[in-house]
Copies of this chain bind each other. A is one copy, B any other.
Amino acid sequence: MTELDVAGLQRRLAAFAAARDWGQYHTPKNLAVALSVEASELVEIFQWLTPQQSARVMEEPDTAHRVADEVADVLAYLLQFCAVLGVDPLAALAAKIDRNEARFPVPAPPQPENRHSSE
């Protein structure tokens, strides 16, 4: 039975690394670097595509699988990085959205013109 929440996946990743004695490699620096390497592997799928082609990558099963696989790798290193440093990624994102809502206010909708506004 697969645990499909963030904390459950972090526990599986930690157990996986511990069983293989990989913890020695998992410094925060190395995990951040590995995250960026995997993000670039995701980008590589798209690098020569037009914006329109990039919207259709899931139509081809091999490419769809490759996309999901790279997403998994990015998330794996992000969650391990967060576990090692004690960062809660969901709370960090919620706080960031809060800040961005203040920083980038929604533009007011255009007002209907009122020709008689001075009356």
Contact = CB atoms under 8 A, between A and B. Distances in A.
Copies in the complex: 4
Given A39-B36, A43-B37, A78 B78 contact: yes
Contact of A37 (B47, B72, B97): B47
Contact of A97 (B12, B71, B91): B12
Interface string A76-119: 10110110111101111111111011001011000000000000
Contact of A72 (B29, B50, B73, B89): B89
A11 to B, nearest CB: 11
Given A9-B90, A75-B93, A93-B9, A32 B45 contact: yes
Interface of A: 2-6, 9, 12-13, 16, 19-20, 25, 27-30, 32-37, 39-51, 54-55, 57-58, 67-69, 71-76, 78-79, 81-82, 84-87, 89-98, 100-101, 104, 106-107
